[in-house]
Amino acid sequence: MLILLTNDDGFQSKGLHILAETLSQMAEVVVVAPDREQSASSHSISLTRPLRLNQIRKNLFTVDGTPTDCIVIGLEKAVSARPDIIVSGINSGPNLGEDIHYSGTVSAAFEGAILGIKSLAVSLAHHAEETLHFDTAAQFALRFCKKIIQETIPPGLLFNINVPNLPSDRSLDYAVTKQGKRNYGGIIIENKDPRGKKYYWIGGNQKDYYDIRDSDCNIIASQKIAITPLQVDMTDHSFIGELKKWKI
């Protein structure tokens, strides 16, 4: 069995290496990860410059590009066969609600789903000052991969998994969820450089969310693991009939 593993935090991320070691209990794991942090790179792919694939050691490669670049290059140049599963993570921080549209971690799993490979993204939902329990997320990812390999998955389906930042000796429940809604406040940070010129950071407060029952945000807030099935097809099928009535 073969697993292709990537992330958006870069190849030196502790979460990536803990996940690789854990998943190696069930399969050969080939890591193809960005050579630097690529957070919020979304599903971008590099079309206007060449990419470099570097082998660090056996089954560990870096790409000077995005997580999606890593999947595309990795499938063609780093693995010897088509992977059984693509895993992206462990992301340092949650990917909840609208985060999925910005996340390089989730987008790598989207790319896998587009290519017809069983795919999942794994994120550790933590606050900045906390001790990080990547092992908790890695152990659940292992359990999920053992299950997904046994199941038939519809085309274009992927899984977004968020794990609360709790020690691995805690017994954690999980819930199947829908996508929630984040409340990003103060998203633009303005400052001045030494010459008095204004510059901006895109940031914001990511702690707030809307109270939506059975959403990924609510489930994580209740300290349960959130499993959200996502799909590549973004068509709003419920609105097609209404749209056909429009006279344009």
Q: Encode pLDDT of 205-241 as tens digits.
A: 656 889 999 999 999 999 999 999 999 999 999 999 9
Count of structural domains, the chain = 1
Is residue 97 included in any domain, yes or no? Answer: yes
Is residue 191 included in any domain, yes or no? Answer: no
Listed residue (159, 156, 154, 26) closest to 87, CA to CA: 159
Distances (CA, A) of 135 to 153, 191, 211: 26, 38, 29
Residue 99 belongs to domain spanning = 2-181+211-244
pLDDT at 16 over 90: yes
pLDDT confidence of residue 205:
61
pLDDT confidence of residue 204:
61
Highest average pLDDT, of 107-116, 164-173, 203-212, comes from 107-116
Is residue 201 included in any domain, yes or no? Answer: no
Instruction: Write the pLDDT tens digit of every residue in 23-78.
Output: 999 999 999 999 999 998 999 999 999 999 999 999 999 999 999 999 999 999 99
Instruction: Write the pLDDT tens digit of every residue in 117-160.
Output: 999 999 999 987 789 999 999 999 999 999 999 999 999 999 99
Is residue 187 included in any domain, yes or no? Answer: no
pLDDT confidence of residue 183:
79
Mean of pLDDT values over 73-100 = 97
Which is more confident, 210 or 1? 1
Listed residue (135, 109, 112) closest to 14, CA to CA: 135
CATH number of the structural domain spanning residue 85: 3.40.1210.10
With beta carbons less than 8 A apart as the criterion, state whether 121 and 160 touch: yes
pLDDT at 202 over 90: no
- By mean pLDDT, which of 15-29, 73-87, 90-104, 201-215 is the weakest? 201-215
Is residue 204 included in any domain, yes or no? Answer: no
pLDDT at 186 over 70: no
Q: Distance between CA 179 and CA 147 in Å, rounded?
A: 22
Is residue 199 included in any domain, yes or no? Answer: no
Residue 143, SS3 per DSSP:
helix
Q: 29: which strand partners?
A: 3
Is residue 124 included in any domain, yes or no? Answer: yes
Strand pairing class (182-185; 205-209): antiparallel
The tokens 């097809």 sit on which residue? 233
Is residue 206 included in any domain, yes or no? Answer: no
Mean of pLDDT values over 99-112 = 97
Residue 184: pLDDT band by 50, 70, 90 thresholds?
A: confident
Counts for the chain of helices (H) and strands (E), in that order: 7, 13
